[in-house]
Structure 1
């Protein structure tokens, strides 16, 4: 992030000082100060706290340094798309952390709440149309030994799928998804849609017995996001 260098200069500290403050190496800070750096959420949080700003303010200052394209609206808030080359874009998206799970389930349509969420960036090949949101994943139910696993603490980028679309076709079968269900936020693989009983079957990638498949009724789902990208911590 180019803005880190500006913040350091204002605070009159060098890269080593910042590295020591957040507990990383000098080389890591040098990488973080490059444009379009991919910074894990836990270190991004430490940086924001050190400079006494929010994560959203960090990204706000960053994108204002360069030309930015404003993308589609998500729940009355906008996400930002910054082209960085042919079929490469940096997209800045509201992030639901584990601390915000319960409140998001209650207030996912509250414009004021959504505007105060932290922001995280993903690199994507093409601009994505539709409603987008990032989620911190909690728990080990989607962990496995394959590349498609989603580790505890990962951040995923989801594109919202209208609930009626789940009942109209099979293209979302075997998709990894974030499901806003009652007062819970689940990350699962969708393996079956039962049209007669109006349920979907959720599958975990972790093969441990405690992560058995289970069904949930469609009429209790508030939102369904197909996972289109993930970041590991």
Structure 2
């Protein structure tokens, strides 16, 4: 009886790695199979590392492989361990929200599928810590390329960074964008996903002049008629591994 009680307490206060191990044990998945399935290096689930948390990158990898594993439960032990389907909307628990991720691999399909609910439902989710209610439509974008790298670490956006983007709805495109407050994720019909700073917005013609923070890149002119989406960059995640 005492052992069962202690086991319950351990599960309540378990780390995300301990919860992952519990999931694998419950499903009969060996550590060797887990490493093969996910491509994560051996040692990730060694006993001396089970008290540590799982990074965002690995959370995406793991839940992309094991689609019935509830990410809310894995991170914060919220809800049930297993889920029947993936909810593409914001999933809120405590101070976290889960937002669909447009990774490097998903970029090609995003241009044609991002307004398709079924497409969004299949995307992995990224947890974002929030201190207030976020309203609107949000997506996470993985940065590709070095066009926004610069000498100022506070402004620089690096390849592999994860950007939380808030959609600027189409009805606001005829008004002046808040170009002095935000940097932007621009979804262009032919150029794809662009992460840029807007330095000029001509409302009458719909012309935008886009600037890269990397001085080796020239300014770029696009027109709103050629865009399918605009997002404000409201937050950023950066891996410490470079």
- Compute the TM-score of the two structures, normalised by the length of structure 1: 0.76
Which of 97, 108, 114 lines up with 1:102 in the alignment? 108
> Hey, what's the Cα distance between the residues in 1 that align with 2:79 and 2:63?
23
Q: Which residue of 1 aligns with 2:188?
A: 181
Report deviation, 1:121.
0.6
Matches within 5 A, 1:1-233: 1=16, 3-10=19-26, 11=28, 22-23=40-41, 29-32=50-53, 39-41=55-57, 43-48=58-63, 52-54=65-67, 57-59=69-71, 61-62=73-74, 65-66=77-78, 77-83=88-94, 89-145=95-151, 146-173=153-180, 175-183=182-190, 184-208=192-216, 211-233=217-239
Q: Which runs of 4+ in 1 moved over 4 A?
A: 11-14, 24-29
Deviation string 1:17-72 (CA, Å, 9 cap, x unpaired) is 97xx723666765321xxxx6x132x3355447xx514x8441543794269xxxx
Counterparts in 2 of 1:53 and 1:192: CA distance versus 1, 3 Å: same
> Aligned residues, how many?
206
* Whole-angstrom CA distance in 1 between matches of 2:141 and 2:182: 16
CA distance in 1, matches of 2:71, 2:19: 8
Give the match's secondary structure for 2:198: strand
- Higher fraction of strand: 1
Matched residue, 1:71: none
CA distance in 1, matches of 2:56, 2:169: 30
Uncovered stretches (5+) of structure 2, i.e. residues with no partner? 1-15, 81-86
Mapped to 2, the partners of 1:131 and 1:158 lie a distance apart of 8
Q: Secondary structure at the match of 1:106?
A: helix
CA contact (8 A) 1:181 1:222 kept: yes
| Higher normalized contact order (CA 8 Å, seq sep 6+, divided by chain length) | 1
| Aligned-pair CA distance for 1:170 | 4.6
Q: 1:78 to 1:47 in 2, by over 3 A?
A: closer
* 1:80–1:92 CA contact under 8 A, matched in 2: yes
